[in-house]
Amino acid sequence: MAKSDPAETSPLLAPRDGAATLDDDREAHAAAAAAAAAATPNGTGQSAQQADDADGVKQLGNRIYVLLPAVAIGLLLSALDQLITLASYTKMGNDLNALDSVSWIATSYFLTLTSCQPLYGKLSDIFGRKECLLFAYAVFGLGCLGCGLAGTMLQLCVARGVAGVGGGGMTAVVSILVSDIVPLRERGVWQGYINIVFAVGTATGAPLGGILADSIGWRWSFIGQTPLCIVAALIVYFALDLPPPSTDHVFAKMRRVDFLGALTLVGAVFSLLLGLDAGSRGGSGSGGGGWTGRTALVSLGVAAPLLLAAFLYVEARVAAHPFAPGRVVLAPRMAACYMANFFGMAAQMGAFFFLPLCFQAVHGFGAAASGALLVPGMVCGVAASIAGGWTIKRTGRFYWVTVAGFGLLFAALPVLAVGLWRRDVLLEEAGYVVCLIGAYSGVTTSLIGLLANAAVEDTAVVVACSYLFRSLGSSIGISICSAVLQQVLRGELDRRLVGDDAREIEDRVRQNLDYIRHLAPEVAEMVRASYQRAALASLAPAFGFAGVAFLFTFGVRETAIRK
């Protein structure tokens, strides 16, 4: 086949003499898969698949060994950032006197990540994988710098939102690159190698964030990421030898990007989160007006439904190239995987985002100790993800691994709840570790299920939509669990604290945990018990999310991996 201008379907790395282009590789994969499916049971099908796998590894295998080191530092930064933030957000809330608003540190990040991540699938097809990855590093670095310089919670959340724009590309584009050049049967294994990089980031990020927060301050954990972003961008620029993107006019390219869909989606999600936050604040001194207040009613009853309807209309009727096309999202073979991802991430993030708060408010640990307690779960979760990938490679099957993963998440959350009820740190840690083992393995194998059921030309969109549902689940899970936590915390403090200074104490301990140390022992215990009950209550929606995710796994369609 004659080739015209190089595009993103050209070789991802400069080919050696005689090397096949990516289009040729994909055509060969499709032809071999069709031959295998149509073969009679005399051994022909098995030979076709073996030949296909061998050709894929021979032609494409060498490229991944150049790709992975080049993008590893960006993946490391992404993992570091999330765990540094998770381990030290209570310190941020204390310093900015806005502890009851710390959920926005995460939700603002996931909000922009949610809206931008699907766009990277289309943008990387138009402008090139390398160009999008460099853009992501630049924006993420600027966002981290803004976080370090923030003087108010609003400024911090805005900067986290900027970082989310870059963070979406740092993960999505890498996943698309790996999906491009790795045969699907090997995909789980290479995803496991990527997860090893994440494991290094998570193993160091949580304690590092806590140590920095307890010593020189949490701001430096963000500022320090900016020079690392510069290093990552330089490595990608010089090490990734990707072909130039197509030469279409820039405005012609931009018309193919579904910006209107992204704007309506982020508006709908923001309205939902704003309404949940306003409702959970009630009539306290921090404002909000409660669930019957104007902000909650307008956001939840008017803005969110209208913007969601607008998003669906744009995707169905307006966008020429929707980032969430119906054939990808609503296909029966893939919808169950997407929904399992959504509810699984809602359960995982909704439950675990507030663990450091519990460690510090209930148990009295510092930020460094709280961060260290997060490490075992992250490491075990990544190990489970790698094991799931190897299982798929050996068997070519993913259904039962996915069911078992989300089932384990659902079954282990009650263990975490019992630990919180008894204030037993070891039991809390055990429940947390088992939950992450299930969540990490389930999410990884469900991505394989999506790719196994997707057309080759939809690979980038499928991966981007997978991250869309994960990010949406994370945002909504954190927001709903935060709303429950704040609502119950306010009620428990109202019930337990009496006296003329009760309301002042309530407002202060909801804004700054350090204030607990200055209270009389019996009053401090009342506050800790209130946080304990609130943390327990916040696990209820997470448990519900996990149950729904588990149910959706039974709708996943098993497909023998032959690509």
Mean pLDDT: which of 31-35, 180-184, 299-303, 379-383 is highest? 299-303
Instruction: Give the pLDDT confidence score for residue 17 in this predicted structure.
Output: 40
Total-model pTM: 0.77
- Please choose, from the candidates 7, 12, 35, 38, the residue with its C-alpha nearest in 3D space to the C-alpha of residue 25: 12
- Kindly state the average pLDDT of the residues 335-364: 91
In this prediction, residues 137-160 reach a mean pLDDT of 95
What b/e sequence results for 99-134 when a residue is b if at least 16 CB atoms lie within 10 Å of its CB, and e otherwise? Answer: bbbbbbbbbbbbbbbbbbbbbbbbbbbbbbbbbbbb
Summarised one tens digit per residue, pLDDT across range 514-550 is 888 888 999 999 999 999 999 999 999 999 999 999 9
Which residue from 558, 542, 556 is spatially nearest to 436, judged by alpha carbons? 542
| 205, 382 Cβ separation under 8 angstroms | no
Core vs surface per residue 469-502: b (16+ CB within 10 A) or e: bbbbbbbbbbbbbbbbbbbbbbebbeebbeeeee
Average pLDDT value for residue range 230-235: 88
Out of 29-43, 101-115, 162-176, 261-275, which region has the weakest mean confidence (pLDDT)?
29-43
pLDDT band at 266 (very low <50, low <70, confident <90, very high): confident
Q: Cβ distance 281 to 288 under 8 Å?
A: yes
Whether residue 5 has pLDDT greater than 70: no
Task: Tell me how far apart the terminal alpha carbons of the chain are, to the nearest angstrom.
Answer: 22
Nearest Cα neighbor of 355 from 105, 545, 539 is 539
Least confident of 133-147, 417-431, 494-508: 494-508
Q: Which residue has the tokens 């019957």?
A: 292
pLDDT of residue 176: 75
Q: Which DSSP category does 303 fall into? A: I
Distance separating alpha carbons of residues 80 and 204, to the nearest angstrom: 7
| Least confident span in 26-40, 158-172, 217-231 | 26-40
- How far apart, in whole angstroms, are the C-alpha atoms of residue 185 and residue 196? 19
- CATH no., domain 60-239+248-258+319-553: 1.20.1250.20
The pLDDT value recorded for residue 120 is 81
Ranking 196-205, 324-333, 334-343, 428-437 by mean pLDDT, the lowest is 196-205
Q: Which two tokens stand for residue 190?
A: 């290479």
Question: What is the DSSP track for 138-150?
Answer: HHHHHHHHHHHH-
Q: What is the DSSP letter of 21?
A: P
Q: What pLDDT score does 107 carry?
A: 85
Average the pLDDT over 53-78 and give the result. Answer: 62
Chain position carrying tokens 């997978």: 466
pLDDT above 70: residue 315: yes
User: Among the listed ranges 163-172, 199-208, 329-338, 364-373, which one has the minimum average pLDDT value?
Assistant: 199-208
Dist CA 479 CA 108 (whole Å): 10
Q: Is 17 exposed, middle or buried (0-12, 13-18, 19+ CB in 10 A)?
A: exposed
The predicted pLDDT at position 498 comes to 85
Lowest pLDDT segment from 9-23, 385-399, 487-501: 9-23
Average pLDDT, the chain: 80
DSSP annotation string for 340-361? HHHHHHHHHHHHHTTHHHHHHH
The pLDDT score that the predictor gives to residue 247 is 58
pLDDT for residue 36: 34
245: left (phi over 0), alpha (psi -120 to 50) or beta: beta
How many Cβ atoms sit within 10 Å of the Cβ of residue 223?
15
Query: How far is residue 326's CA from residue 288's CA, in Å, rounded to a whole number?
Result: 37
Residue 90 reports pLDDT greater than 70 = yes
Distance CA 141, CA 225 (A): 7
Q: What are phi and psi of 320, to 5 degrees?
A: -70, -35
pLDDT at 63: 60
How far apart, in whole angstroms, are the C-alpha atoms of residue 562 and residue 230?
40
Most confident by average pLDDT, 129-143, 183-197, 381-395: 129-143
**Is 215 or 255 the better-scoring residue by pLDDT?**
215
Q: Is the confidence at residue 44, as pLDDT, over 60? A: no
Q: Find the mean pLDDT for residues 81-103.
A: 85
**Percent of the chain topping pLDDT 90:** 30
What does the alpha-carbon distance between residue 134 and residue 130 come to, in Å, rounded to a whole number?
A: 6
Lowest mean pLDDT: which of 203-212, 263-272, 487-496, 515-524? 203-212
Q: Is the pLDDT of residue 29 over 80?
A: no
| Residue 18 pLDDT class (50, 70, 90 cuts) | very low
pLDDT value at residue 62 = 57
Distance CA 495, CA 5 (A): 71
Q: What is the pLDDT of residue 334?
A: 86
pLDDT of residue 240: 78
> Exposure of 256 by Cβ count < 10 A (0-12 exposed, 13-18 middle, 19+ buried)?
middle
